[in-house]
Structure 1
Amino acid sequence: MTKAERALETRERILKAACEVIADIGFENVSMRKVAEHAGVSKALLHYHFDTREKLFAEAMTHSFAQTGTDAEDGGDTTPAAVVLARILRSMLPSDADLRQDWKLWQELWVRAQRDQTARHLAVDLYDQLHAWVGAAIERGIRSGEFTECDVTAVSTLIMALCDGLGIRLMLDDPRVDLATARSAIWRAVAPALGTTPDFPEV
């Protein structure tokens, strides 16, 4: 392994550890020492890669976001757009342990964004990327004839808003909302605009 590869592996390990620690105890309780211990690196090495908590938090959020829904487009151009969109919806809801951890990080970001301009810009940027991701799946369906022509921006915004609202209920373990209910509610809400069946696709 080259020096550059070792440095990249160390950085990845630190970011993974930071995500886990922040999700577990909240950003306000996180210290660089705790992250270093969890990552199994020295505090000096951690500071070599990330000189402040704020930079580490921003990188951890970006890292977590980049890992979300990596299987959404498995199958490439042969995957129906409805399946791609359904996979995106699946990855935007806290449907397993990893995604629940991602949601905890998002919740930390939401809180920080109310008081910190840098965190607010990061949140808006990540939402822009989500919006583009959802919109691309809808546009793909329109091009293929699976979906009818629609206001892609409006439908994407609706999907994201429903995922946020129902995702919070799932994180709270609200007995009125389970994962199947959330998925079905979102799909039924957007199906008329997409001109597709109201049943959530098999993914």
Structure 2
Amino acid sequence: MARVRLGVEERREALLRAAVGQIEARGVAALRISDVAAVLGVSNALVLYHFSTKEKLVAAAFAHAARDDLAQLRALLGRRTTALARLHGAVRWYAPTGEAKGWKLWIEGWAAALREPALGDVARDLDQQWKAALTEVIAEGSATGEFRCTEPASAAWRLTALLDGLAVQMTSYAGSLSRSTLLEWADAALARELGVDLAVLDGPGG
């Protein structure tokens, strides 16, 4: 069968997906250009043609993952339902599932960002956009009287900080924290921040 010839953007997209997968599997430190090339059956030279260095490839891979995460978040927060239901859905989506591969990627990214400024910029931008998106919906729900929260931005910071910490514990220390417990604590924190009864989250509007 003849090999399908990809356009420049399609090839770049494929390389980024392969890089994300290899970072999840091997970690940033152990990643090699040849690992990414082997996934797609291409040469090392082709990978370097698009990204020139491993550091640039890694930074672009994390930016690609960040865009995917933000697109999913915006889809959740943009649903035609109550602010409470959108926030609850976003908090639950944020929590790790299964082997938590997405969280392994970001834990790797945070660690590597201590030495790679480009990764730090990507992680910081993703974090800021997450907080801004949650703040907007919390402010919306508060303004319409759906719930009461006088400091939406502070609430968004506290929620993301809690979720980050719990997710790191669950991902890094297998068996230390179950997903059901994590979700229970996340729900309790969300209800507390919004001044609603915990039972409301399980109702038709939550």
TM-score by length of 1: 0.85
1:68-93 Cα shifts (integer Å, max 9, x gaps) = 26166359452211221122212322
Correspondence 1:20 to 2:40: no
Q: Which residue of 1 aligns with 2:72?
A: 70
Q: 1:86 is aligned with what amino acid?
A: H
Unpaired runs of 5+ residues, structure 2, are 1-5
Q: Which residue of 2 aligns with 1:82?
A: 84
Relative contact order, higher structure (CA 8 A, sep 6+): 2
Deviates more, 1:190-199 or 1:130-139: 190-199
SS of the residue 1:27 aligns to: coil
Relative distance call for 1:108 and 1:172 in structure 2 (3 A) is closer
1:144 CA drift (Å)? 3.2
Contact 2:77/2:137 (8 A) holds in 1? no
1:92 to 91, 94, 115: 94
Q: Which residue of 2 aligns with 1:59?
A: 60
Q: 2:24 is aligned with what amino acid?
A: A
1:43-74 Cα shifts (integer Å, max 9, x gaps) = 22212221111111111112112222616635
Question: C-alpha separation between the residues in 1 aligned to 2:44 and 2:141?
Answer: 49
Relative distance call for 1:76 and 1:115 in structure 2 (3 A) is closer
Unpaired runs of 5+ residues, structure 1, are none
Question: C-alpha separation between the residues in 1 aligned to 2:62 and 2:77?
Answer: 27
Question: C-alpha separation between the residues in 2 aligned to 1:50 and 1:35?
Answer: 12
1:14 CA drift (Å)? 0.8
Give the share of equivalent positions with the same residue, in percent: 30
Question: C-alpha separation between the residues in 2 aligned to 1:147 and 1:40?
Answer: 53
SS of the residue 1:66 aligns to: helix
Contact 2:15/2:47 (8 A) holds in 1? yes
Contact 2:77/2:87 (8 A) holds in 1? no
Relative distance call for 1:162 and 1:71 in structure 2 (3 A) is closer
Contact 2:23/2:31 (8 A) holds in 1? yes
Question: C-alpha separation between the residues in 2 aligned to 1:109 and 1:194?
Answer: 31
Question: C-alpha separation between the residues in 2 aligned to 1:62 and 1:91?
Answer: 20
Q: CA RMSD in A?
A: 2.4
1:7-45 Cα shifts (integer Å, max 9, x gaps) = 222111111110110110111111111111113332222
